[in-house]
Amino acid sequence: MSTGDTEEPMTGPPDRVIRDEVHRDVLVPAAHASILDTREFQRLRYVKQLATCEFVFPSATHNRFAHSLGAYHLAGRLLDALDEAHPGRIDADDAELVQLAALLHDIGHPPFSHLLETPEVFATFRHHESWGREMLTSDTTEVGVAVRNVLGTARFERLLALLDGEEDHDGVPIPKVLKEIVSSQLDVDRMDYLVRDQANTGAQIGGFDIDRVMRALRIAPEGGLHVKSWGLPAIEAYLVTRYHMYLQVYFHKVNMLTQTYLVRMLSRARALAQQGELTLSAALTSMLLDTELDASTYASLHDAHVLVELPAWAEHDDAALAADANRLLSRRDYHKSLRIRDLTRDNVDTVKEELSTLLQDSGADPSQDLIVAAVRKRGYLPYMQGILLEDGRDVAEHSPIVRALSEAADRVLVFVPEDVRDAAEALVRERIKPQQASLDRFM
């Protein structure tokens, strides 16, 4: 028996099992873990999923990192379910691309997610999809290099085509089902954020069964997804959950108000910096003033770069900047919403001048103290990338519940200082005489 040294077999990095609050164990193969470990993907830990929603629901501090990992996990589960129903129908290489597309779909989000995705804040404005694509294709970002190392050049280009919603790449079709898993009215992004946001806000709205939804999905003859007839109740529950999450969480009046405070505070900071009255950090200079922002610098920005400025801005000589910073820092002195349920943009436009005069006469500043926040949510859209049952018809044709959810919410919230709210409400009611019942269901 030899007593010489023996060599251990060579092994690569291990696969990972990541514990998630919603999906429990999430398996991440070592190759995909190399993407998670990039600076750009780790940045998503510091980008809140729901922006200022924590001012309403204190535990809603979860981030885009957890959500992206959840969408990745659900994509894998849905692919497994479809492979069981349609063995070999989806190519294994394409299945990996779908999971990575789900993982990377939010890589380009700015600080505070969709809220700061506006030219009011970014001097170099692009939608997050555009920034995400540039981050992936850049030679100066870690995530772009990592994804290319995992996939190789040809498959990397096919991944980009999938993310772009293309019909094919290099002459090879991209099956419709792949795109619908990543982006549709019943995609893994929506399924994850609905259950995750509900769990973290504590909203009591019923919820839906992801497992049952996935078991009911099949690949239709035309190549997209459809739902077995017995799965209709699960789809109804999913759409009802989505409806109530928008009305009770995403469109909560305090959430809408704090979003306004944050955006206009940053807009004011930009104006003051341009006038030489405010010195910005390097990060906020990039965000607010750099008109030629590059992908690497953009990918270094996150929520903390804004939050760290609040104490100093709350003490600034500029009254508007200080007021909004103080409101976000201390959660007091908030404006109050008019208790009129069916206001529309047209309604408010007809009375806005008189409201401004009322505020001015009371000593308020209409430019700061008359806040109008739009609530626009397209309802479920049948026939426009809708959800089909196995007979080829949209779920709205089968379900009165879904038909009721197809109407869009399009209204506005009006906020004024608390001491003039009663007078403002009386003025608005007198001028527009709203029909209270018409939008009761949206409150």
Domain 16-250 belongs in CATH node 1.20.200.10 = no
Side-chain-side CA neighbours of residue 240 (13 Å):
15
Burial class (CB in 10 A: 0-12, 13-18, 19+), 279: exposed
Residue the block writes with tokens 């009761």? 440
The domain 335-443 having CATH identifier 3.30.70.1370: the answer here is: yes
User: Residue 202 has what pLDDT?
Assistant: 95
Domain map (residue ranges) of the chain:
16-250, 335-443
pLDDT-derived band at 249 (thresholds 50, 70, 90) equals: very high
Written as one string, the DSSP assignment of 57-78 is STT---BHHHHHHHHHHHHHHH
pLDDT band per the 50, 70, 90 thresholds, residue 305: very high
DSSP 173-213: E--HHHHHHHSSTT-HHHHHHHHHHHHHHT--S----HHHH
Interhelix angle for 64-85 vs 188-201, to 10°? 130
The encoded tokens of residue 281 equal 């950090």
Strand partners, 184: none
For 137, the enclosing helix (H) or strand (E) is helix 128-137
Strands 409-416 and 371-377: antiparallel
Weakest-pLDDT range from 81-95, 97-111, 303-317, 379-393? 379-393
Task: Label residue 358 exposed, middle or buried (CB < 10 Å: 0-12, 13-18, 19+).
Answer: buried
**Res. 439: pLDDT tops 50:** no
What mean pLDDT is predicted for residues 96-119? Answer: 97
| pTM for this entry | 0.93
CA atoms of 270 and 116, how far apart (whole Å): 13
Please check the confidence at residue 6 and state whether its pLDDT lies above 60. no
Q: What is the DSSP string of 292-327?
A: T--HHHHTT--HHHHHTTHHHHHT-S-HHHHHHHHH
CB 402 within 8 A of CB 236: yes
- What is the average pLDDT across 86-112? 97
* Cα-only R_g, the chain: 25
Region 202-210 average pLDDT = 92
In Å, how far from its chain's centre is CA 322?
Answer: 28
On the question of pLDDT at 160 being above 70, the answer is yes
The predicted pLDDT at position 225 comes to 97
Distance in angstroms (rounded) separating the CA atoms of residues 62 and 70 = 12
Whether residue 19 has pLDDT greater than 90: yes
Q: Is the pLDDT of residue 96 over 60?
A: yes
Instruction: Enter the tokens of residue 279.
Output: 């010195």
To 5 degrees, how large is the angle CA 231–CA 234–CA 235? 90
